[in-house]
Each structure stands twice: as C-alpha cells, then as structure tokens.
Copies of this chain bind each other. A is one copy, B any other.
Amino acid sequence: MSEPSGPTMASIGRVAGVSRQTVWNVLHAPDKVRPETRARVERAIRDERYRPNRVARSLRTRSARLLGYCMEPRGGPDLNPVQDRFLHAVTEAAEARGYHVLLFTTQRGDPGRRASSRGGREDDRLDGYAELLAEAAVDGFVLSDTTVDDPRQAWLHERGVPYAAFGRSWSDGEDPGPWVDIDGAAGVESAVTHLYEQGHRRIGFVGWPTGSGVGEDRVSGWRRGCERLGLAPGPLARGDNTSDTGQALAAELLDGPDAPTALVCVSDVLALGCLAELRRRGLRPGADIGVTGFDDAPFAALPGVELSSVEQPIERVGADVVRLLIDQLTGEPPAESHIVLAPSLRVRASSIHPTTDPVTP
C-alpha cells in the first residue's frame, strides 16, 4: 500500500556509483560520458527500469508536454465520424514527438471557479482554455470545428498562446495562426467532374445556409466545376444539416423548373435525405439520379446506402496540425503555416450510371 516511488536519477546514480548529473548526461549527452561509465549507468537504468519523471521534468523545463483539445458537446450526427478519427491521429502524432493529448470540455467542473473570473466576462467557451493555460497544464492547443472568425483563434493569438487549428480561420483579415484544412472546393469539384463523366449535364447542389465558411467553400467548388466543364450551374437549394431537410431540398430541386439529373450534396447527412426522397419517388440512385455526399461518414459505405462521398484525409490533417503546433513549441522554424489537403472522391453505387462508360478526359 505504501508508495514504492520508482527510481530517480539520484537513485540510479547511487546504484551506478555516479552523481545524478552523470545519469542525466548519459541520457541526454552520451558523448560527454566515458564509455565505461556510460555502460555502467545504462545498466543501472535498465536494471531499475528507470523512466524519467514527466512531472518533475515539466516543472523544471516549464513545459507540460501536453496538448489541450476541447471536446465540444456533440452536436448532430455530423461531426462525430470526424472527431474520433481526428483525435486518434492527433494522439498518435503527438506521441511520436513525446507529447500527449489532454482533453477538456467547455463546461467547467468546479463551480467555485466560475466566480473567480473578473468583471469583463469572457466568452464561456474560452474559460477552459484560460484555466489550463494559467495552471500551466498544457503547452498549446489543438482546435477543431473552427468557425468564421472563430473567437478562440483571436483570443489565443492575442495572448501569444501556441495553437494550430483544423479548419482555416475564414477571416477576411490576416490569419491569426496556423491551420490545416481540406480543400472542400476541390473535393466538390471532383464530384462534379465524376458526375459529368457519368453522363450528367445538369448537376444541382444541395448546400447549407449561407454564412458558413466551409459551406461556401464547397459551393464554390460546384460552381467552378460546372464552369470548367462548360455547364450552366444547375439549381441550388440550401438548408440546415439534417437528412429530413435533405429530403425536402431534393424534392424542391426535382420538382423545380429545370430538374437536375444529379445532386451534389454538401454533406452525407443531406445526401442521405436526398436518397430517401429518390427512393420515395421510385427513382434509382445512380441509374436515374446521381448523388454524392461529403465526409465519407461511416454510414455512406453501408449496404442499402452506398453513397459516393468525398473522403477527407483526417489522419493527415491530424498529423499536420500536430506538426504545426509542436514546431512552434520547440521553436522550429515554421516551414509553412497553412496547409490545404486535397480530399478524394470515393465512388459508390449512388453515382454510377450502369450504362455509361466512364470517360476519362
């Protein structure tokens, strides 16, 4: 029951008959130590199963070697598939550089602390960030789900707090900090191209309400794709990110003046609604109407869904975000501060026209 309290540099030194500093040298500057001494110390380290105490190291070096990540309260079924993979990727990349990920939430646990905030009330969402920072519990933050002019980015930037974001800042002004993002426009454009190759000439778009950076980016890809292929952009409908909305929007477009033969959707959830509407009308996805989504959510691959979708290289994003962040922490020369990654279309039944041979340009 008592604390065994593992070996320390001092205890290793005692075993090997050297001082604690020599032990440190063996670990961090081996060539400063005479080979036979080193061997003796290394043996002691192995025998005693010594591992440096992370906490003590953190105190001295003033770096926790921890990256903060805020778990947003789960919204719709949309963000989830990404968050899981992203976290895994971030954790793995961080470990490769000797860091770990520390999770926190926006709702502060200890109610007593809420009062300690001074008059000028900051955004509640920032409290968690502020607290971890003040407690020196993390060295920096990984952000995700950034919005247009995300207050967190400005807040962190003002205070000189290291961070890196998944999602560009979408700000008109200069960028507060480094980010990694997916080229949504390119992803959608590739979907348009694919549908064109399947024989479609009237391609509609099902999007989100205006105002979201991500959403506008994807619409622009659709416009660009149509333009490049010499098509007049088909009809456009917008609504919030639920499959019921998707179903309604699909109906709207199909009943409209110039009904599209293919629907490019800004998200898989909306696309699923479209598929439901097609089924209701007895139309076969792919054969009668081409449909594509975005995100490659887990359900897209399921039998009975088989939704073509733009897959985001989340693992790459996670790795790059961590690299940008840790490079800042270690004072590495910042190679680049904005990374845009290309997504790739995963073609499934919902967009394949059985009788049309794919045409590669």
Q: Mark A190-224, 1 if CB is under 8 A from B, else 0.
A: 00000000000000000000000000000000000
- Interface members, chain A 108-134 (any B CB < 8 Å): 108-110, 116, 118, 131, 134
Q: Are A272 and B3 in contact (CB-based, < 8 A)?
A: no
Q: Are A105 and B131 in contact (CB-based, < 8 A)?
A: no
Which residues of chain B have C-beta atoms less than 8 A from A6's C-beta? 134, 136
Q: Mark A83-113, 1 if CB is under 8 A from B, else 0.
A: 1110110011011111011111101111000
The residue of chain B having its C-beta at the shortest distance from the C-beta of A7 within the complex is: B134
Q: Are A98 and B110 in contact (CB-based, < 8 A)?
A: yes
With A110-B96, A302-B243 as known contacts, state yes or no: A88 contacts B104, CB within 8 Å: no
The 5 closest A-B pairs by CB, nearest first: A95-B109, A96-B109, A51-B134, A77-B298, A299-B299
- Interface members, chain A 259-290 (any B CB < 8 Å): 269, 272-273, 275-276, 279
How many angstroms from the CA of A92 to the CA of B135 in the assembled complex?
18
The residue of chain B having its C-beta at the shortest distance from the C-beta of A53 within the complex is: B136
Residue A28 at the chain B interface, CB threshold 8 Å: no
Which of B49, B66, B103, B272 has a CB less than 8 Å from the CB of A302? B272
How many angstroms from the CA of A110 to the CA of B302 in the assembled complex?
37
Q: Of the 9-residue stretches A55-63, A171-179, A181-189, A333-341, which lies at the interface with chain B?
A: A55-63
Which residues of chain B have C-beta atoms less than 8 A from A49's C-beta? 118, 134
With A74-B88, A84-B83, A298-B77 as known contacts, state yes or no: A100 contacts B98, CB within 8 Å: no
A316 → B minimal CB distance (Å): 15
| Contact-size category for A | 35 or more
A79 → B minimal CB distance (Å): 9
A214 → B minimal CB distance (Å): 20
Which of B5, B101, B273 has a CB less than 8 Å from the CB of A303? B273
A291 → B minimal CB distance (Å): 12
How many angstroms from the CA of A301 to the CA of B101 in the assembled complex?
32
Q: Are A80 and B3 in contact (CB-based, < 8 A)?
A: no
Q: Are A97 and B109 in contact (CB-based, < 8 A)?
A: yes
Q: Are B51 and A71 in contact (CB-based, < 8 A)?
A: no
Residue A32 at the chain B interface, CB threshold 8 Å: no
Q: Are A298 and B80 in contact (CB-based, < 8 A)?
A: yes
How many angstroms from the CA of A81 to the CA of B77 in the assembled complex?
9
With A77-B298, A83-B84, A88-B105 as known contacts, state yes or no: A51 contacts B135, CB within 8 Å: yes
How many angstroms from the CA of A80 to the CA of B6 in the assembled complex?
36
How many angstroms from the CA of A62 to the CA of B5 in the assembled complex?
9
Known contacts A100-B104, A272-B303, A298-B298; 5 additional CB pairs below 8 A are: A95-B109, A95-B110, A102-B102, A269-B302, A272-B302
Which residues of chain B have C-beta atoms less than 8 A from A102's C-beta? 66, 100-103
